[in-house]
Amino acid sequence: MSVVIDLDNLDRLAAHAGAELVSKQPHWGDAILCDGLVYAARALHSDAPRLVAEKWFAPRLSAGPQTQGWFWVWAAEALPTLDLYEKTKNAAYLDYACKIVDFMESSATRTPGGAIVPHPPAMEVWIDVSYFTAPAMAMLARIERDPQRMERALAQLIAHARTLLDPATGLFWHVAYVDKGAHSPCLWARGNSWFSIAAPQLLADVEAAGTIDRFAAPVGEIREVLARQLNAIAGLQDKSGLWHTVIDRPDSYIEASSAAGFALGMGRALRIRIPGLNEALVRGAYRRALEALRANIDVQGAFTNVSEQTPPGDFDFYNSIKIGHAPFATGVCLMALSEAAEESSP
């Protein structure tokens, strides 16, 4: 599955992203951008991107996580702190992540099916939250060698999948309104990409922890759902290598953030060999997506053509979201290109 990644392109993206992270106004996606810099540091064999991430996190480590604030801000901080812990072995990062994950597990509002609710008292399940919760729980479980927490991570991802899956397509709705028995009306591409990132990351941690056989049933369910989703996603790719923002509607515009997420998810799924995955189809879509990512990095190193922050709505609403830049998209692009670069290195 070898792919060739232009490290100069990745270096330019990381340099621009690092300068932006420490100079612009705060954004909920900054933690994802921070995580992307940690990935880039590893792929580029350079401390510079990681040092920017550490600089950004320094005041947060001193203050501790603010779990009473807006969900998207504090929940997004768990994964980069765990990645920084694994790189630096600084116990302060591990403690920070533990507090976030423990709050998710002990205090976050949940649906009757167990899915974490980001905006209580609204009984809503968001596909984005599958990324903000289960992978951090699984990564922490692997680090701490805690099979009970791993079991809860699997259950959390399955709760999201069961609540949001569209059985006709194998794709996911953006939001489910559990108390109303309804869901948002569109299959949003970036929302689907969050699940495609989260699922293989969790599965890789289950495998690394040596618990695949112990959790055979939930692992099998997640593999089946992920394979079907990625097969469907690959079949909906635009000739540009990108996807339409409403993924099954070619009359919606194409944008780059979902391609970053799908490239990251597809690369991971191909590496861990998911049963039922159409590897030839998905590998072709993966390569085209990586090419499209590179084509959407401008000469300054900014990741462009990104659909900006998107709450749920009708088709016309999704199609009206502005195109520009966003830290969460740059972070995921950094992750996708970094993992591809590591895969292609000798």
How would residue 4 be classed by pLDDT, with cut points 50, 70 and 90? low
Q: How many residues does the chain have?
A: 346
How would residue 77 be classed by pLDDT, with cut points 50, 70 and 90? very high
The owner of tokens 């079949």 is 235
Does residue 148 or residue 69 have the better pLDDT? 148
How would residue 6 be classed by pLDDT, with cut points 50, 70 and 90? confident
Rounded percentage of the chain residues whose pLDDT exceeds 90: 94
State residue 303's pLDDT score: 98
Eight-class DSSP state of 116: B
State residue 166's pLDDT score: 98
Neighbours of 248 (CB within 10 A): 15
| φ and ψ of 171, to 5 deg | -100, 180
H or E element that contains 336: helix 327-344
What HEC string does 213-275 produce? CCCHHHHHHHHHHHHHHHHHHHHCCCCCCCEECECCCCCCCEECHHHHHHHHHHHHHHHHCCC
How confident is the model over 255-298, as pLDDT tens digits?
A: 999 999 999 999 999 999 999 999 999 999 999 999 999 999 99
**Tell me, what amino acid is at 5?**
I
Rounded percentage of the chain residues whose pLDDT exceeds 70: 98
Grouping H, G, I as helix, E, B as strand and the rest as coil, residue 346 is coil
In this model, does residue 346 exceed pLDDT 80?
Answer: no
Q: Phi/psi class of residue 311: alpha, beta or left (left: φ > 0; alpha: ψ in -120 to 50)? A: beta
H or E element that contains 324: strand 323-324
User: In whole angstroms, what is the distance from residue 65 CA to residue 74 CA?
Assistant: 7
State residue 304's pLDDT score: 97
Task: For Cα atoms 304, 308, 311, give the angle at the middle one, nearest 5 degrees.
Answer: 160
Arithmetic mean of pLDDT, 128-145: 98
How confident is the model over 16-47, as pLDDT tens digits?
A: 999 999 898 999 999 999 999 999 999 999 99
In this model, does residue 83 exceed pLDDT 60?
Answer: yes
